[in-house]
Amino acid sequence: ARDRFRRALAAARRVSGPGAIELVNVRSNLALVADEPGERDALFADAEAELTRLVGAAHPQTLRARIGRTMWTTDLAAARALLAPTCEMYDRFHRVLAPAVIECWGELAFVMDELGDRAGAAQTLARVAGFLADGGEHAGEAAGYLALWRGDARASVSLFADGVAAQPRRDGEPWWVTFERGKLGVGLGRARRAAGDVRRARAALEAAVEDLEAV
Q: What tens digit of pLDDT does each residue of 8-19 get?
A: 999 998 988 888
At 86, the amino acid letter reads: T
Closest C-alpha to 52, from 3, 86, 101: 86
CA distance 161 to 89: 32
CA distance 182 to 179: 5
C-alpha 14: how far from chain center: 32
pLDDT tens track of the chain, all 215 residues?
999 999 999 999 898 888 888 899 999 999 999 989 999 999 999 999 999 999 999 999 999 999 989 988 889 999 999 999 999 999 888 878 888 888 899 999 999 999 999 899 999 988 888 777 765 667 788 889 999 998 999 999 999 999 999 999 999 999 999 999 999 999 999 999 999 999 999 999 999 999 999 99
Q: Is the pTM of this model over 0.95?
A: no
